[in-house]
Chain A
Amino acid sequence: MNDPARPERDRPWVFRTYSGHSSAEASNTLYRSNLAKGQTGLSVAFDLPTQTGYDSDHPLARGEVGKVGVPIGHIDDMEVLFREIPLDQMNTSMTINATAAWLLALYVATAERQGVTADQLRGTTQNDLIKEYLSRGTYVFPPEPSMRLISDMVAHSVTAIPKWNPVNICSYHLQEAGATPVQEIAYAMANAIAVLDAVKARDDVSDEVLPEVFARISFFLNAGIRFVEEICKGRAMTELWDELGRDRYGVTDPKQRRFRYGVQVNSLGLTEAQPENNVIRIVLEALGVTFSKKARCRALQLPAWNEALGLPRPWDQQWSLRIQQILAYETDLLEYPDLLDGSHVVEAKVEELKKAAQEELERVLAMGGAVAAVENAYMKQRLVESHTARLRAIESGELPIVGVNTYTETEPSPLVGDDDSSILKVDAAAEREQIERLNAFRAKRNDADVKAALQGLHDALSNGENVMPPSVRAAHAGVTGGEWADTLRELFGEYRAPTGVVARESQVADEATQQVRKRVRALGEKLGRPLKILVGKPGLDGHSNGAEQIAVKARDVGMEVVYDGIRLTPAEIVQSARDEGVHVIGLSILSGSHLVLVLDVLAGLKNEGIDVPVIVGGIIPEEDAESLREAGIQRVYTPKDFNLTRIMDEVVDVVEASAGVG
């Protein structure tokens, strides 16, 4: 742009929208319309069965197919997803982790079908398992084989798919689980070190390639509403990464030490109450990661104003895309060199963050690094604690959230009707249709090829060979995601990560909490034993924050709490409720599959003759809440119910009423 009135501008970051739903077909249409609107890269959201390696007809996939993302079961699905999107010209980010090698294999195979070779492919597989254990919850295998799969993908792509970012170290999800900026920085660095050390230890990665490996590691950050601090966080990480490359890995070329990162801005702070305010939050957060040129993100995706209500519709996502475009094209942001260089205030804050993060990083390294600190639950426990502190501050009003705990009076919002029409509703037929397509695909493939490909995968993995080549062969042969993942499950086993909720009780208890404690104790005496609650997470949903904080609060008011973490079947929950002799069951579901799963739990309880009241919390549209109450659910809670003490008080009401001891 050489218009004299418009000075030379920097190239903007890549604009993305995290999207995908129902089917490959529907998502392909969505992607093409998004690109037509000026989006410059793709960010694929997969459904939970795809992310956790189950075919659409697996019992655990029930209610989840096509819900929160696109179901991709095999090469035909992948081909449809990118129909008329030339992969040699696209920059595609895939939020995929436990099954990352498989989805990358499908992507490579699809490109090959398009006549595009792997070395032309640009994009990212998230492929960060450490943060899955800590926050995101779509892990499958134990840490060790997971690290091996990651390092396989790094080693493979550094030569075979050189423009690909094989792993995206995520601190985004840590902030979404409550992390402070210092924790975000420290744990992301610890994570990157674990990956780099694993790659470095490989025989097939020579010391000469290591700097290139270092250069291929990219990050995925969060940006919260305290946007000045967030700017400083970006600068701090830029400096720390540079130092780490130089000092720990001997990377001499400064270009290879550049801190490259994408961003999704904070969603945890987006509210159900007065949801229009979220747009302002999103704008400020976007500014946080674009303002300082030195630490500007490479790619950005923004959530939508209705984040806490449910899935965004295309129009909601368009609004968020327009925020990026206005920031990049209308404002003068991209006309200046770094605006903060020379600011003593910023410098001091950056130093402060770096120092604190380095101390925390040293602590993690001293206990054996990120993997050890996952296994011994150190990092997870710190995150749960930080989140508890955050929620307590919201409850007390110390942390003001406009429209939630302050300035709550409001006109009715014209954006939200009373009929839940302001969110995307996934067609209920999507699951059935996807299963039909899967069966048709299975029927037409050559079974002998499939068998041979799976055997090849199995043999290669047990011989310590790289996971990628046999996975690409399996993709071409017509293997399904469930089959691929089952092969690995059999070899590697499965894992349950520590929940991070500990027996140790919180120090502070305000007046209201103490009041509830008294009620809990009194009720326990009437019941003959302490009030016992089961906090259950049915289905593939990995959103654990709510369940964790409910569990922590229930403990703090003196209840005995059974909480076994995410991804249990309704049948497992029913069995636990009986075996543990609980007085009340609290289910937490945010993935949108509450109707199916809650009704399954209720049916199971009835079947077994267990008469225990059930309450539900999560992202539950009012219409659905009504149906759940009709089905016998005692209470339904959503994000607007931020007062945990009050929730606990009501749990006591529910148990009192059901036990007839009020």
Chain B
Amino acid sequence: MSSRRARALADLGERLLARERAAVAPALNLVDDRRPEARKEAAALLAALEEKTLLGGARRIGLTGAPGAGKSTLLGALVQRFRSRDQTVGVIAVDPSSQRTGGALLGDRMRVRSGSADPGVFIRSLAARDQLGGLAEAARASVTIVAAAFDVVLVETVGVGQSEGEVADLVDTLVYVAQPGAGDLLQFMKAGILELPDVVAVNKADLGPMAERTANELMAGAGMGERTTEWVPPVVLVSAQEGTGLDELEAALESHLESLGPNGLQERRRRGRDAGVRVSLERRYGSHGLAAWGGHAKLEARLAEAQDHSGFALAEALGQEIESALRGGGSDL
């Protein structure tokens, strides 16, 4: 990296932390760039940013749920509410449907007509690329960028199996958007829906009693999932389209944040960070590579040591260690 590049990069980081909107898109382009030189620059930028924002920065909320549940519509409605309180919003819309050709259609992102190009709202969509785990990494990088520059970050993704867990690791509060009549309790349990989300929003309440029935099913099951905390996910009936139930939904988001408390929030961010480092190293070096270096136990120890530091920085540093271990540098430095 030339010193001019390095300065420009440091500058980009500063501009993001100064919340300069025009810096966000170039930063996202950079962290999306696969060329080796760009990878290095991106890692440096992300590490610098996350050092400052890991335990602070934007409020991060995830929206997940079945296709067509109304995530985008609900997202649009939430955006309007945040905007009416003058909070800026960055949206990362993740499309996990992977394509053989690499082609992707990123559409129907905002379902609520805004009619104006509001500088307080930023939307970037992210398509699945070829590699496993690649999307989670890309999403983490993107969230880190927008979290530096906006008050609130919203992440939308279709809930397909593992991706929910990945989103849960990116956000402070995960909302599961359910459709009326989407299934009975047993199906929800099977799908693991009762475990991850912090808040359940049963959307399309305007469709009538079916929505209430679904909400009741979910409420009955709410505390039943295996959880590490006391928090029982509230079930809220909303209509994203008609704008009903949104006060309740926001109250639920708030109380989840309160229930976490400052320590809980930091804990959650650290956990997310740890997951990110694990995914990143596993993807790059495989379990074999990790084992050659010292394996998971060592990784966990290193994560704990560096607890308030950037996961991106850590992943870079550990990556170098692993590489040298793989080159035959031995496993105990």
List the interface of chain A (C-beta within 8 A of B): 60, 142, 144, 376-377, 493-496, 498-499, 501-505, 509, 517, 520-521, 524-525, 528-530, 551-552, 554-565, 567, 569, 571-572, 574-576, 578-581, 608-609
Contacts and interface: CB of A to CB of B under 8 A. Distances in A.
15 contacts: A376-B68, A493-B241, A501-B105, A520-B102, A521-B102, A560-B103, A561-B103, A563-B106, A564-B107, A564-B110, A572-B116, A579-B24, A580-B106, A581-B25, A581-B124
B97 interface: yes
Nearest to A571: B117
A568 to B, nearest CB: 9
A342 B14 CA distance: 82
A505 B102 CA distance: 10
Contact of B101 (A495, A505, A579, A580): A505
A530 B107 contact: no
Interface in B87-132: 95, 97, 99-117, 119, 122-125, 127, 129
A581 B29 contact: yes
Nearest to B243: A493
B104 A561 contact: yes
Interface stretch (B4-12, B33-41, B253-261, B285-293): B33-41
A524 B68 CA distance: 30
A60 B122 CA distance: 22
B115 A569 contact: yes
B108 A499 contact: yes
A142 B239 CA distance: 13
A129 B32 CA distance: 41
Given A60-B115, A557-B101, A581-B124, A529 B34 contact: yes
A650 to B, nearest CB: 17
A60 B117 CA distance: 13
A528 B100 contact: no
B206 interface: yes
Contacts of A525: 34
B247 interface: no
Interface string B240-268: 01110000000000000000000000000
Contacts of B243: 493
B28 interface: yes
A533 to B, nearest CB: 10
A384 to B, nearest CB: 11
B25 A561 contact: no
B108 A569 contact: no
Given A60-B115, A144-B206, A530-B129, A498 B29 contact: no
Given A496-B112, A579-B25, A503 B105 contact: yes
Nearest to B91: A579
A529 B105 CA distance: 15
A539 B309 CA distance: 48
Contacts of B119: 575
A556 B106 CA distance: 13
Centre residue among A556, A562, A563, A572 by max chain B CB count within 10 A? A562
Contact of A496 (B103, B111, B123, B242): B111
Centre residue among B95, B99, B113 by max chain A CB count within 10 A? B113
Centre residue among B38, B105, B125, B206 by max chain A CB count within 10 A? B105
Interface string B37-73: 0100000000000000000000000000000100000
Interface of B: 22, 24-25, 28-29, 32-35, 38, 68, 95, 97, 99-117, 119, 122-125, 127, 129, 206, 241-243
A506 to B, nearest CB: 10
B101 A575 contact: no
Contacts of B111: 496
Nearest to A574: B117
Nearest to A509: B101
A574 B107 CA distance: 16
Contacts of B241: 142, 144, 493, 495
B107 A562 contact: yes
B25 A578 contact: yes
A493 B242 contact: yes
Nearest to A142: B241
Given A142-B241, A529-B34, A559 B108 contact: no
A387 B58 CA distance: 44
Contacts of A505: 99-101, 103
Given A495-B113, A565-B108, A580 B103 contact: no
A498 B109 CA distance: 10
Contacts of B242: 493
B107 A565 contact: yes
Nearest to A583: B29
B125 A562 contact: yes
Contacts of B125: 562, 580
B29 to A, nearest CB: 4
A517 B102 CA distance: 9
Given A142-B241, A579-B24, A528 B104 contact: no
A569 B115 CA distance: 7
A502 B105 contact: yes
A529 B107 contact: no
A580 B127 CA distance: 11
A648 to B, nearest CB: 11
Contacts of B104: 503, 530, 555, 560-561
Contacts of A581: 25, 28-29, 32, 124
A406 B105 CA distance: 33
A564 B111 CA distance: 9
A503 B104 CA distance: 6
Contacts of A530: 102, 104, 127, 129
Contacts of A520: 102
A416 to B, nearest CB: 37
The 9 A-B residue pairs whose C-beta atoms are closest, nearest first, are: A528-B33, A571-B117, A555-B103, A575-B117, A558-B101, A503-B97, A494-B113, A528-B35, A581-B29
Contacts of A551: 105, 107
A559 B104 CA distance: 6
B29 A555 contact: no
Nearest to B36: A528
Contacts of A609: 22
B105 A496 contact: no
B80 to A, nearest CB: 11
